[in-house]
Amino acid sequence: MTDETPATTARHSAESPWEDAYGSSRAVAAGDFVLVAGCTAYEDGVALAEGDPYEQTIAAFKVAFDALDHYGLTATDVVRTRMYLTHVRDCDAVGRAHKKIFDQVRPVTTMVVVEGLTDSRMMVEVEVEAHRPGLARTLEGTQS
């Protein structure tokens, strides 16, 4: 489901139950940037890798990449990542997962320890920002 307003802004829904409940989108393309947030280790409504911060991070970034793919972007287009962890002991595991995915890309990165996430089974939530010069022109060409 996509709602485009105005010409160089497009919103994409991943049909997460929280998007409708909280009035948000999984991804928003604004100009030449795509912002993706609220990505956790869920697949088809099922919590993945409970208790494993490394695998939850890998799964959460897969959710983010699925949203980027909607706009034709990949991990190589990512310029910023943010990772929210529920415990400081998981920093190294989450960092290893990030390195596995982004070692060649090297986006700017922030890792923050928070008190908790919306679903207590989730140990990690991620955000990505991607950039592609000319993306806004591409979006304008696909809108009516």
Q: Answer yes or no: is pLDDT of 3 > 50.
A: no
Poorest-pLDDT segment among 12-21, 50-59, 96-105:
12-21
pLDDT at 126: 98
DSSP alpha helix (H) spans, 1-126: 17-22, 53-69, 91-102
Beta strand pairing status for 9-12 and 2-4? antiparallel
Instruction: Report the C-alpha gap between 138 and 61 in whole angstroms.
Output: 24
Q: Answer yes or no: is pLDDT of 111 > 90.
A: yes
Domains and CATH numbers, the chain: 2-142 (3.30.1330.40)
Average pLDDT of span 44-73:
94
Q: Answer yes or no: is pLDDT of 4 > 60.
A: no
Neighbours of 111 (CB within 10 A): 17
Average pLDDT of span 83-105:
98
Residue 33 CA, chain-centre distance (Å), reads 13
